[in-house]
Structure 1
Amino acid sequence: MTTPAPSPAPSGNQKRRMKSASRLYAVQALYQMELAGLTVEKVQHEFLDHRFGAEIEEGVEMIEGDVELFGKITSEAVNWQARIDQMTDRALVAKWPIDRIDPTLRALFRAAGAELVALDTPPRVAITEYVDVARAFFPEGREPKFVNAVLDHMAREAKPESF
């Protein structure tokens, strides 16, 4: 009997895809938390148990995510939510406070804000990644440009030394 060879470590490109997938999953998790009134721990467990790498349909699997990054983003988004929401409000037009925008965008701004406020993600990386997430959710809309503008404002407030 032979033991299976250990799976190889992910390549640089695979690691980037896993991080990108984790950001998308974090936005989905934060959206689900808000709509269903669930705790961050409950949603994290659900995503790790049922979404990361899960088979969607015969032969089609979801991308495996970076579990550690997903956990940090979702936890820090909750820990820093008041500050992140205030930063988002300041970046939005006065007539459109954060509680009036689309819940998907609200979740996206909270996930991105967590990376800008609490994690060591360079602002340009966070902006690029979350604009890509916006494109995934709103492929035909103007939302990606809106997300870019709001996140640029938030990043300048959170990490002015990076600009």
Structure 2
Amino acid sequence: MSSRPRGASDPLWPRRSSGCSACGSARSPCWSTALGGEGRGARSRGRRSELDDRVRSLRHGRRVALAALFEAEFGQRTPEAILERQLAHLGADAAAAELARTIVGAVVANRVDIDARIEAAAPQYPVVQLARMDRSILRCAIGEVLHSRTPPRVAIAEWVELARIYSGDPMRRLVNGVLGRIARETQADQTNSSEEGVSGHHL
């Protein structure tokens, strides 16, 4: 498990796509984009495009949050300060910025609980012994699973993939196992609370 992203360029920063999203041309937007299109097919493509844009924005937000937590591991600045600098520098859109702030805020506010959950789910991997990147991935992932509006299964899938990209397959498996256990425990706690509430209502 690596302590930093691999590759010649830092993959935490997503690359801008080029070409026409409508026809797949490698050149700038072509007539099919400029003219728009009419009817059900065009509307369907528009909805898919909006959904794709939002997914990309949220993925950008996760990467920026991860970059902020990772940089903060070196102790020069707070995660919040690093995050705001990165958001301003990258010109992140509202959806990306909101999710990034949610994740970083959750980790900062709940770090003790998050670390305890990591060690309970994977006692063979003490948090202090994890590489900085691995520790940051797990903290961000748990922060989103427990403290955001993202459906847990979506957050788990996204962070498992980020773990694979930035650390490797062993970390991907660890993140999948830890998040799966935490999600199941959280769901069980919520179910028990609901049942207790219903039982109490009928007393």
The TM-score bracket by the shorter chain reads 0.7 to 0.9
Whole-Å separation in 2 of the counterparts to 1:136 and 1:69: 20
Whole-Å separation in 1 of the counterparts to 2:76 and 2:185: 29
**Does the alignment pair 1:144 with 2:172?**
yes
| Secondary structure class of the residue paired with 1:142 | helix
Whole-Å separation in 2 of the counterparts to 1:87 and 1:112: 12
The match for 2:151 is 122
Whole-Å separation in 1 of the counterparts to 2:57 and 2:81: 22
Out of 167, 176, 181, the residue aligned to residue 153 of structure 1 is 181
Which runs of 5 or more residues in structure 2 are unaligned? 1-48, 192-203
The match for 1:101 is 130
TM-score by length of 2: 0.63
In the comparison of the two structures, how many residue pairs are matched? 144
For residues 59-74 of structure 1, the aligned pairs below 5 Å read 66-74=96-104
Moved more, 77-86 or 33-42: 33-42
2:65–2:140 CA contact under 8 A, matched in 1: yes
1:87–1:157 CA contact under 8 A, matched in 2: no
Whole-Å separation in 2 of the counterparts to 1:41 and 1:25: 11
**Does the alignment pair 1:45 with 2:84?**
yes
Whole-Å separation in 1 of the counterparts to 2:72 and 2:186: 24
| Secondary structure class of the residue paired with 1:11 | helix
2:68–2:80 CA contact under 8 A, matched in 1: no
Question: Percentage identity across aligned positions?
Answer: 28
User: Moved runs in structure 1, 4+ residues, more than 4 A?
Assistant: none
1:52–1:64 CA contact under 8 A, matched in 2: no
**Does the alignment pair 1:19 with 2:49?**
no
| Secondary structure class of the residue paired with 1:159 | helix
Whole-Å separation in 2 of the counterparts to 1:134 and 1:65: 22
- Give the letter for the 2:174 counterpart: F
Moved more, 23-32 or 151-160: 151-160
- Give the letter for the 2:150 counterpart: T
Whole-Å separation in 2 of the counterparts to 1:117 and 1:67: 18
2:80–2:104 CA contact under 8 A, matched in 1: no
